[in-house]
Structure 1
Amino acid sequence: MIRCMLLKSDKSCTYGDESLIEMWKQNPSDALWVDFDSHDQTEERVLLKSLGCHSLAISDAQRDRHPPKIELFDDYIFMLYRGIYHPGDDLVFDHLQIAMFVGTNIVITTHAKKSISIDKLFADEGEKYLVKSPITLALRVFHYSCGIYLQKLFEFEEKLESIEDKFQMGGDDKMMQEITLYRSRLTKLKRTFNYHSNIGSELKILVTDETPIINQADLHTVTDVHERIERLLSLSQMHYDICSDLVNGYLSVASHQLNATMRVLTVITAIFIPLGFLAGLYGMNFEYIPELKVANGYYYLLSFMGFISISLVMLFKKKRWL
């Protein structure tokens, strides 16, 4: 599907299909937003080339997976970022690769499935940003996607606090499996936000270079987007660190409990070793053992074994091993 938004010089806005592209070509001073949604890639490539998009950028846009990036061409700024098709709970995101070709009077977006941010802005709100400039509209689409990520991270923060409280009452293996799963998801998000942070930094450089497509007038919007990306990166890193601390804390507690158990077993073993030695000594089948003729030898041996046991217990308690 191809949908277009044509903003004329008199500020009137028209919505339609690809026929608006021909109208724009007749008067390129107007502003145009072209959105390719789940469109046939062959037809999409032909249309993008007719609009002056570089073939390498088109190939990157049509790849199933490509790291987020930004690249400056003669007539366009090409941005590729990881948007959202469906945001789930517990940091589960159905990601969507979104490509943008941003010119002086045109912005082109292409994506394989429905985009929440683009659907949100392809209305009156989008007109407001397109009036300012195509780069402002593109950055606001990016900004809205980051806002969805941010909202889900805030929701996860509340859940993480609840997990921390439960952990203080006593963690278990099931809780550790859950935390480890969250840590893995946060690792993937951090990787995505790192790429996006690079896009924000490159945009600030382009503003400084004063290219025709983006200049100092767009600095505030670029800074706003970059700050939101950095906030996402810092939040995901903070949540990752908390999950790591919880896992390490659980492992430390489990290790301490294991050490305490092994200490008790070692003490028990140390007590019974001399007792077992004496029992084994007098259990040998020799006919001539001197002590066998002692009338109360049985009681003497039991008393001696009890004395050894009590002495060892007192020694271990004195050394705080019990």
Structure 2
Amino acid sequence: MIRCMLLKPDKSFTYGDHTLIELWQKNPSYQIWIDFDGHQQDQEKALLKELGCHSLAITDAQRERHPPKIELFDNYIFMLYRGIYHPGDDLVFDHLQISMFVGTNIVITSHRKTSMSIDKLFSEEGQKYLLKSPITLALRIFHYSCGIYLQKLFEFEEKLEAIEDKFQFGGDDKMMQEITLYQSRLTKLKRTFNYHSNIGSELKILVTDETPIINQADLHTVTDVHERIERLLSLSQMHYDICSDLVNGYLSVTSHQLNATMRVLTVITAIFIPLGFLAGLYGMNFEYIPELKVANGYFYLLGFMSFISISLVLLFKKKRWL
């Protein structure tokens, strides 16, 4: 599906399909937003080439998976980032690769599935940004996607605080399995936000270079987007560190409990080793063992064994091993 938003010099907007592209081509003063939503790749590629997009950028845009990036071409700024198709709970995201070609009077967005940010701004809300400039609209689409990530991280922060409070009363293997799962998801998010942070840095450089597509007038919008990305990166890192601390704390407590158990078992073993030695000594089948002829030898041996046991228990208590 191809949908278009056309802005005329009198600040009126027209919505329609690909037929608006021909009208835009005939009127250089018009501005247009072209959105490819799950369109056939061959037709999309042909139309993008007709609109002057670079073949390498088109190839990257149509790949099923590609790291987020930004490139400056002669007539366009090409941006590729990971938007959101559907945000779930517990940091589960259905990511969506979104490509944007931004020129002086055109914005082209391409995505294989429905994009929440594009659907949100393909309305009156997006008109005010297209009125300012195509790059402002593109940055606001990116900004809105980051906002969805941010909202979900705030929701996760509340859940993480609840896990911390619960952990104070004792963790278990199920809780650690859950936290480890969150660690894995946060690692993936950090990787995505790192890519996006690079895009924000490159945008600042382009503002400094004063290209026709983006200049100092767009600095505030670029800064706003970059700060939001950096906040996402710092939040995901903070949540990851908290999860790591919880896991390390649980492992430390478990190790301490294991050490305490092993200490008790070691003490018991130390007590019974001399007793087993004495029992084994007098249980040997030699014909002549002098002590066996003692009338009360059995009771003497039990008394001696009791003495050894009590002495060892007292010694271990003094050493604070019990």
- TM-score w.r.t. length of structure 2: 1.00
1:73 is aligned to 73
Cα distance, 1:317 vs structure 2: 0.6
CA–CA distance in structure 1, aligned partners of residues 28 and 263 of structure 2: 82
For 1:215, the equivalent position in structure 2 comes to 215
Matched with 2:46 is 46
Do structure 1's residue 31 and structure 2's residue 31 form an aligned pair?
yes
2:270 aligns with 270
Instruction: State whether structure 2 residue 104 is matched by structure 1 residue 98.
Output: no
Q: CA deviation at 1:201?
A: 0.1
What is the distance in 2 between the residues matched to 1:206 and 1:236?
27
1:245: Cα distance to partner?
A: 0.6
User: Is 2:202 aligned against 1:202?
Assistant: yes
Question: Any idea what SS the aligned residue of 2:213 has?
Answer: coil
1:154-189 per-residue CA deviation (whole Å, 9 max, x = no partner) reads 000000000111111110000000000000000000
* Rounded Cα–Cα distance in structure 1 between residues aligned with 2:313 and 2:28: 94
Please give the alpha-carbon distance, in whole angstroms, between the structure 2 residues aligned to 1:29 and 1:214.
18
Distance in 2 (alpha carbons) for counterparts of 1:24 and 1:283: 106
* Structure 2 residue ranges without an equivalent (≥5): none
Match of 2:244 in 1: 244
**Matched position secondary structure for 2:320:** coil
What is the match of residue 138 of structure 2? 138
SS at match of 1:6: strand
Between the aligned partners of 1:20 and 1:128, the Cα distance in structure 2 is 19
Give unpaired runs (5+ residues) of structure 1.
Answer: none
Q: Who is 1:176 aligned against?
A: 176
1:11 matches 2:11: yes
Q: Which aligned runs of 4 or more in structure 1 are off by greater than 4 angstroms?
A: none
Shift of 1:28: 1.6
The amino acid that maps onto 1:231 is R
- 2:123 matches 1:108: no
2 CA distance for matches of 1:57 and 1:196?
A: 18
Question: Could you say what secondary structure the match of 2:295 adopts?
Answer: coil
Distance 2:271 2:9 in 1: 95
Whole-angstrom CA distance in 2 between matches of 1:143 and 1:105? 20
Please name the residue that 1:161 is paired with.
161
Deviation by residue 1:196-243 (Cα, 9 ceiling, x = unmatched) = 000000000000000000000000000000000000000000000000
d(CA) in 2 for partners of 1:217, 1:96: 30
Q: State the SS of the aligned residue for 1:169.
A: coil
Shift of 1:285: 1.0
How far did 1:29 drift?
1.6
1: CA distance, partners of 2:284 / 2:125: 97
Report the counterpart of residue 225 of structure 2 in structure 1: 225
Residue identity opposite 2:107 in structure 1: V
TM-score with structure 1 setting the length: 1.00
Q: Does 1:293 align with 2:283?
A: no
The residue type equivalent to 1:44 in the other structure is E
1:264 Cα deviation from its structure 2 partner = 0.5
Per-residue Cα deviation, 1:18-76 (whole angstroms, up to 9, x for no partner): 01000000112211000000000000001001110000000000000000000000000
225-234 or 244-253, larger mean C-alpha shift: 244-253
* Letter aligned with residue 122 of structure 1: F
How big is each residue's C-alpha offset from its partner over 1:103-155, in whole Å with a ceiling of 9 and x where there is no partner? 00000000000000000000001100000000000000000000000000000
2:157 maps to a residue whose letter is E
Q: Count how many residue pairs are aligned between Structure 1 and Structure 2.
A: 322
The equivalences for 1:180-195 within 5 A come to 180-195=180-195
Q: Please give the alpha-carbon distance, in whole angstroms, between the structure 1 residues aligned to 2:29 and 2:293.
A: 121
Secondary structure of the residue aligned to 1:70 is: strand
Distance 1:300 1:62 in 2: 91
Q: Name the amino acid aligned to 1:321.
A: W
Instruction: Kindly state the Cα deviation for residue 102 of structure 1 after the two structures are TM-superposed.
Output: 0.1
Which residue of the partner structure matches residue 259 of structure 1? 259
Q: Which amino acid in 2 is paired with 1:287?
A: E
Using the alignment, how far apart are the partners of 1:157 and 1:177 within structure 2? 18
Aligned partners of 1:315, 1:131: CA distance in 2, in Å? 86
Task: Summarize deviations over 1:67-96 as a string: whole Å, max 9, x none.
Answer: 000000000000000000000000000000
Cα deviation, residue 287, structure 1: 1.7
Q: Equivalent residue of 1:74, what SS?
A: coil
User: By how many angstroms is 1:293 displaced?
Assistant: 1.1
Aligned twin of 1:82: 82
Shift of 1:244: 0.6
